[in-house]
Amino acid sequence: MKNKGLKKTKFPGVYLDKSLDEKYKGKVIFKEKLDLANKMLKIHGVPENAKKHL
């Protein structure tokens, strides 16, 4: 049985608005989450499996 409604392209159909790059460049949007992530990195450091990707 064939699915006739499926797309044959790998493109997901999501379009990016390039004007948002300049609008949010250099701005912190989720300050609480950023602070928590920096605190966790300071306490625990970068995980070993992530170091090879840096």
Handedness of CA 39, 45, 48, 54 (dihedral sign): positive
pLDDT of residue 34: 93
Angle at 23 between CA 20 and CA 24, to 5 degrees: 90
User: Which single residue is written with the structure tokens 């699915």?
Assistant: 3
Contact (CB, 8 A) for 37 and 45: no
Query: What's the pTM?
Result: 0.49
Q: List the domain boundaries for the chain.
A: 26-51
| pLDDT (tens digit per residue) in 1-53 | 555 665 566 667 778 889 999 999 999 999 999 999 999 999 988 888 877 76
Residue among 20, 43, 40 nearest 32 (CA) = 40
What is the residue type of 24?
A: Y
